[in-house]
Amino acid sequence: MSGIAIMTSGGDAAGMNPAVRAAVEHASNLGMKPYVVYDGLEGLIDGKIQEATRELTQDMMFRGGTLLRSSRSKRFFDHAFRKQAYDHLKAKGINKLIIMGGDGSFRALNDFFNDFQVPFAGIPATIDNDIAGTDYCLGVDTAQNMILNCIDSIRDTAQSHQRAFVVETMGRDCGYLAMTTAICSGADICIVPEIPYDLESVSKRLSARKQQGGCVIAVVAEGTKVAQYLTRWLEERMGMDTRLTVLGHLQRGGSPTARDRMMATRFATRAVDALCEGRNNQIMVYRDGSHGHTSLDAVVGQKYSVNQDILALSRELSC
């Protein structure tokens, strides 16, 4: 019986647990023997591998984060430790891997394949939504809804006191989360790495709002590193009582939304199918409304670009 192991790597993202559950169920239905790896690449090195049962995965559908836990492993760059990981897999008869994560995770398993010919399938999972080749990554919808809930709550107190609030979102160097939540929350300002901003133009646009006693909501991507500056600018230039809210890791948590549960299930079942069909080292993708898979080279090292329509709508909030 062919063995297949499922693991999570890098930053946690809502949808990872439903994807683990779906992969285990589908692999079992196809006559494979599924395993799970705890603690990501570190766990692979240390042999933290357990046979997956329905009892193990039955409560995963509604749980956020990753119950398999995760890690970022420097040891995996060392061939000796990769050999140790391979020996653990070989001892259990595991000859296929599914990994959820980002570029770094996919690169690591590609090195592993080059060493020991253990094929893998990758599932894009990061709230940053910055993986090339796919329009969607697991965890994004849940993170967006967490951010929107926070902004909606902040707006209540902002309106009550005629204040300005600057809300900093995660996303590293990608402004996707900030752009989409700024648009969906009706924010007044959006500052992201992808779009040049003009605060003088913003000042003119919002001057009437201030005179009428309204509030101002600004959404800023962490990659711009201007959240504190914008807070001071709104205080000094606009003369508004201003507060900064850094959402931080709050955005990673929470029970996965219906969309993330569905996307997780579809990504995971297709990953199992791809490996069964001999399509090795493929990354599962969602593009233009359709699921598919693409080569590692089309994903790793390529630059992700935000949809032009989203950029256009966000540009109106940046000037």
pLDDT tens per residue across span 270-287 = 999 999 999 999 999 999
Q: How much is the pLDDT for 175?
A: 97
pLDDT over threshold 80, residue 209: no
- Do the beta carbons of residue 187 and residue 164 sit within 8 Å? no
Q: How much is the pLDDT for 207?
A: 84
Q: How much is the pLDDT for 14?
A: 97
CA dihedral for 117, 118, 119, 123, sign (positive or negative):
negative
pLDDT over threshold 90, residue 155: yes
Catalytic residue chosen out of the listed positions 39, 128, 141, 260:
128
Q: Which CATH superfamily is domain 141-252 in?
A: Phosphofructokinase domain (3.40.50.460)
CA dihedral for 306, 307, 313, 315, sign (positive or negative):
positive
Confidence band for 208, pLDDT divided at 50, 70 and 90: confident
Encode pLDDT of 106-135 as tens digits.
999 999 999 999 999 999 999 999 999 999
Give the rounded percent of residues in the chain with a pLDDT score beyond 90. 91
Distance (Å, whole) CA 210 – CA 191: 20
Q: What is the pTM of this model?
A: 0.94
277: which residues sit within 8 A by CB, 6+ positions away?
none
Distance (Å, whole) CA 279 – CA 119: 9
Q: In which residue ranges of the chain is CATH 3.40.50.450 found?
A: 3-139+256-305
186: buried, middle or exposed (CB in 10 Å: 19+, 13-18, 0-12)?
exposed
- The fold of the 3-139+256-305 domain, in CATH, is Rossmann fold (3.40.50)
φ, ψ of residue 228 to 5 degrees: the values are: -70, -40
Q: Between these two residues, 172 and 311, which has the higher pLDDT value?
A: 311
Single out the residue of 125, 113, 98 nearest to residue 276, CA to CA: 98
Distance (Å, whole) CA 149 – CA 281: 38
Encode pLDDT of 80-103 as tens digits.
999 999 999 999 999 999 999 998
Q: Is 128 a catalytic residue?
A: yes
Q: In which residue ranges of the chain is CATH 3.40.50.460 found?
A: 141-252
CA dihedral for 268, 270, 273, 275, sign (positive or negative):
negative
Q: How much is the pLDDT for 259?
A: 98
